[in-house]
Every structure is written in C-alpha cells, then in structure tokens.
C-alpha cells in the first residue's frame, strides 16, 4: 500500500484519474485543489487551485497535457500543465 502525501490536515478527495500508462495519478479535493502524483516514487509533483468549489470530476485530456475539472457548482476548467512540473 502506498500512502500519498497531502499535508498535515488533508482535504477529502473527490475524484481520482490515472493517465494512460498509470504513471501519474491526479486527485481532486473538496477545497478545489488538484494534486498530481508520480506513482513510481509516490510523491506529489504538482498541485494547484483549479476551482473555487469542490471538484467532482478530473479526466485527463486526450493528449494528456491537460486536465479538465468540473466543480460541484457547475463550473468547468481546462488546465494545460505542460511545463508546470
């Protein structure tokens, strides 16, 4: 079992999505944050605030250089994370 770090007082996770080869895991939380983890080492490689509401879904884009976030308030966001990590 691998425990992924989310800090001292971690928020509840609302959605998980692996990339096509299972090397990257994206996790969204009730605080509107998206966290991305490198599964080979179990460390967070990047995290950012995506929405002002809880995120209900976070699929990777077709080219896997972007991720979509859908909030519980009905707002959607597309983040291109090329070069962010």
Set out the domains of the chain in order of their start, with CATH numbers. 20-80 (2.40.10)
Mean pLDDT of 53-82: 90
pTM of the model: 0.83
> For residue 55, what pLDDT is reported?
92
Predicted confidence band of residue 1 (pLDDT cuts 50, 70, 90): low
Percent of the chain with pLDDT over 90: 53
pLDDT digits (tens, 9 = 90+) for 15-45: 999 999 999 999 999 899 999 999 999 899 9
Q: Sign of the CA dihedral 52, 56, 62, 63? A: positive
């Amino acid at each position: 079992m691998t425990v992924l770090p989310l800090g001292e007082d971690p928020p509840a996770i609302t959605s998980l999505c692996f990339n096509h080869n299972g090397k990257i895991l994206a996790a969204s939380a009730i605080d509107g944050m998206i966290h991305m983890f490198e599964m080979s080492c179990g460390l967070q490689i990047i995290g950012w605030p995506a929405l002002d509401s809880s995120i209900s879904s976070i699929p990777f884009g077709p080219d896997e250089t972007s991720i979509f976030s859908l909030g519980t308030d009905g707002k959607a966001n597309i983040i291109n994370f090329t070069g962010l990590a």
